[in-house]
Structure 1
Amino acid sequence: MQDPNADTEWNDILRKKGILLPKEDPNKEIEALEEELIQQSVVKRYEDMTLDELEENEDEFGEEDERAIEMYRQQRLAEWKAKQMKKVFGEVLEISGPEYVQEVTKAGDDLWVILHLYKQGIPICALINRHLNELARKFPETKFIKAISTTCIPNYPDRNLPTVFVYQDGNIKAQYVGPLVFGGMNLTKDELEWKLSRSGAIKTELEENPRQKIEDRMMSAIRTSAPTKDSDSEED
């Protein structure tokens, strides 16, 4: 049986009469394959490029490539912004007065910032700093900052410490001033988390105020142990 792909005079006659399909040009197949590889290479190139590389090489791409490149540029920009957001968070940043504007009021759009003004040697300030260290790791999307009070606000009175300011877009959304607001040295991490969540700065999974639970248990214990009218206590 004769090979229909063979380059013979008989096969040429059959092709002319439409009995055999036209012989495929191997050069065209190679050209098509090369074009496909080039297109894949271009896509792969700008997928892997940084924002700077895209700008440097944008003259090499055609109109269709430009549209695709713009999509990748936007994706890269979003990824870069996300990395910048995560890069400095996850811990409590210590700042001084000159850094206040840059780190707080100009921290970024839609960004929550929690600033703790404190002083060394005040026990409840140290307690809050410990709690904030844990909360910063738990809520890395929020920026936690601490600063010695008088470096940010000259002559700030120690009686107002600890002070916690909550900012969004550079504006104060909540403020907590003095030890009584925090409940003194009995303050737990969960209680501080709940308090800060009321401002919107963090999204807690706590369903109710932990301090309220403690107070409810204390009141229940008091009612249970209180003497009844039939008691023969000294007060009766």
Structure 2
Amino acid sequence: MDPNEDTEWNDILRKHGILPKQVKITQNDIYDSAVEKAREEHEHRLDNLDLDELDELEDDEDDEILNQYRAQRLAEMKAELANDKFGELIHISEPDYKREVTLASRESWIVVHLFRDSIPECKLLNRYLSTLAKQYKQTKFAKIISVECIHNYPDANLPTILVYGKGDMQAQLVRLDRFGGMRTRKKDVEAYLKDVGAINPAQKRSVPGASDDEASDDEDNSQVYIDLGKKY
């Protein structure tokens, strides 16, 4: 027995609440539904277009709709840029630490590098952090000479990364041994910072010349040695 069939028996069952009442769909209902679906598909197909692609459609589409999407896209871009508060690896000193790190970490994530220029791994890490600061502008990146941050801090513990967030230190990395020392690649540091929550891959910005290629990292590491006047 088909419960949707229009029979006398089914009518009796519907009358006594055994079968649900039959809802009749008219041709107008089908037409209205099809029109609404087509309208939604037409609107949403513009969602993934950039501003240039929207410009290309200007001759074929309604100007009012295109202008609405263009304004919406510009507003989204402006909102993203408004959150890009930083963008460079800054050098701070001991008197700045509380303001620039501890207090500031209540509002954003902060990555602090304790370093000394005489240590090759520190120079390598500073270069990587400088690039990451440009790629993740919603995170503050700072460096401070180790003994200015922690008096008598041993060079054997360098480089050291301190990660701050929510007004307190959330993670620390002592030395680059886990990544292979001078064989450390930028993507190793990037993955670590992502794992501890200091950076968000969804907020990454493209930077001309920045590369995650391992071969490029190897060449760059060799250059660090040369710059320090040492050959390894």
TM-score, normalised relative to structure 2: 0.50
Relative distance call for 1:204 and 1:183 in structure 2 (3 A) is farther
Relative distance call for 1:154 and 1:136 in structure 2 (3 A) is same
Residue 102 (structure 1) aligned to one of 78, 99, 104? 99
Contact 1:94-1:145 within 8 A present in 2 as well: yes
Residue 133 (structure 1) aligned to one of 130, 142, 165? 130
1:148-204 Cα distance to aligned partner (Å, 9 max, x none): 000111100000000000000221111000231342001111111001111001123
Relative distance call for 1:184 and 1:108 in structure 2 (3 A) is closer
Query: Displacement of 1:108 after TM fit?
Result: 4.8
Q: Which runs of 5+ in 2 are unaligned?
A: 1-77, 205-213, 215-232
Relative distance call for 1:197 and 1:150 in structure 2 (3 A) is same
User: In 1, distance between residues paired with 2:153 and 2:115?
Assistant: 10
Higher-RCO chain (CA-CA 8 Å, sequence separation at least 6): 2
SS of alignment partner, residue 104 of structure 2? coil
User: In 2, distance between residues paired with 1:116 and 1:178?
Assistant: 11
Percentage identity across aligned positions? 45
Hey, which bits of structure 1, 4+ residues long, moved more than 4 A? none
Amino acid at match of 1:164: I
Larger Rg: 1
User: In 1, distance between residues paired with 2:201 and 2:123?
Assistant: 23
Amino acid at match of 1:120: D
Pair 1:142-2:139 in alignment: yes
Contact 2:132-2:190 within 8 A present in 1 as well: yes
Residue 91 (structure 1) aligned to one of 77, 81, 88? 88
Pair 1:197-2:188 in alignment: no
Query: Displacement of 1:121 after TM fit?
Result: 1.1
SS of alignment partner, residue 142 of structure 2? strand
Pair 1:167-2:164 in alignment: yes
SS of alignment partner, residue 201 of structure 2? coil
Q: Which runs of 5+ in 1 are unaligned?
A: 1-78, 207-212, 214-236
User: In 2, distance between residues paired with 1:100 and 1:184?
Assistant: 27
User: In 2, distance between residues paired with 1:180 and 1:110?
Assistant: 31
RMSD: 2.5
Relative distance call for 1:111 and 1:118 in structure 2 (3 A) is same
Amino acid at match of 2:136: F
Contact 1:116-1:163 within 8 A present in 2 as well: yes
Structure 2 matches for 1:1-40, cutoff 5 A? none
Contact 1:193-1:204 within 8 A present in 2 as well: no
Residue 115 (structure 1) aligned to one of 112, 115, 132? 112
- Report the equivalent of 1:152: 149
TM-score, normalised relative to structure 1: 0.49
User: In 1, distance between residues paired with 2:105 and 2:112?
Assistant: 15
